[in-house]
Amino acid sequence: MVPGEWVCAVNRVAIIAAMAGELKPLVKGWLHERHGGVDVWRWRFDEGEWVAACAGAGVDAATRAFAAAEKNGAPDMVISVGWAGALTEALGTGKAYAVSGAIDVRTGERFETQLGRQTEDEKQPQVLRLPSATLRVAQDDSLFVATEEVSVEHRDGLILVTSPRVADEVEKRRLAAAYGAQMVDMEAAAIARLAAMRGIPFYSIKGVSDGFSDKLPDFNRFIRADGQFDMAGMVLFSILRPWYWPSLIRMGENSKKASQSIREAVLDFLDERSTIRERNGYPNLKH
């Protein structure tokens, strides 16, 4: 084995998100089904399968999505993906970032991704090999040697906090100061906990939908008990408050870009050279 090379068998990958919009570019053309409020997409190749699932925002919804993803077989690894808020001006909106660790705000638990578990020696130039997939960690700790069109970055020690509520501008400042984190979401730590319970590798790739200083409505009032977002209520609320329109339009554009960046990041990680997709007739290879 080449020094610094890690080989493991990964036939089944679970990709967990909160909202369908976060997965839309990635799962275009995949087999889709919906049961009990959970959306599941599957794409089978050779003897493997990629399974993506979402059930809404929050820990409970993420747990339901994970259960649906593993219903037909235990995953060999799990990737938490989706939109996140920036806790620093240094993170650009619309871009995808690989996370080194996740902190659960409710419990204080800290979870490392496989990237976060690397020792200093392992952070030398190396190649981590998965079946027909490559994850590179360069000398400067950047993740994914990708083309310029792919908006993917990894920063050494990039930490995400998982909060039970959507963080507004004030809460973002508090979380940044309290945890030294750079991103906030509502699910990643829950997925990390479930992965740890099953003894499988955990990764996280998040796309920044809203910047550190963006002034947005309180989205918490529109998240139902089941984690689903009340879009109709949000639209009605916004129509009567035009001062939010510019920031909401900007967030919509950023979210769309972030979803596309997440797609490129996940596929570059799982199938960097497109060998799996080309061999198996991937339905969404060029888009």
What pLDDT is attached to residue 122? 43
DSSP strand pairing (202-210 vs 38-45): unpaired
Q: Give the amino acid at 114.
A: Q
What pLDDT is attached to residue 148? 34
Residues 6 or more apart whose Cβ sits within 8 Å of residue 68: 35, 36, 38, 40, 53, 55
| 208 compared with 113, residue with greater pLDDT | 208
Residues 6 or more apart whose Cβ sits within 8 Å of residue 77: 10, 13, 14, 195, 200, 201, 202, 203
Work out the pLDDT band at 117, boundaries 50, 70, 90: low
Q: What would the two tokens of residue 192 be?
A: 């990390």
Q: For 2-6, 63-67, 215-219, which range has the lowest pLDDT when averaged over its residues?
A: 2-6
pLDDT above 80: residue 186: yes
Q: Is the pTM of this model over 0.75?
A: yes
pLDDT above 70: residue 95: yes
What pLDDT is attached to residue 129? 31
Computed over every residue of the chain, the mean pLDDT equals 82
pLDDT above 80: residue 80: yes
CATH number of 10-124+151-280: 3.40.50.1580
What pLDDT is attached to residue 234? 85
Work out the pLDDT band at 264, boundaries 50, 70, 90: very high
What pLDDT is attached to residue 218? 83
Chain segment 12-55, per-residue pLDDT in tens: 999 999 999 999 999 999 999 999 999 999 999 987 999 999 99
Query: 144-148, 152-156, 262-266: which has the highest mean pLDDT?
Result: 262-266
**CA-to-CA distance for 90 and 99, rounded, in angstroms?**
15
Residues 6 or more apart whose Cβ sits within 8 Å of residue 262: 22, 25, 26, 81, 82, 96, 205, 206, 207
Which of 158, 187, 164 minimizes the C-alpha distance to 86?
158
Read off the pLDDT of each residue in 225-241 and give the average, rounded to a whole number.
86
Contact between 16 and 81 (Cβ < 8 Å): yes
What pLDDT is attached to residue 243? 87
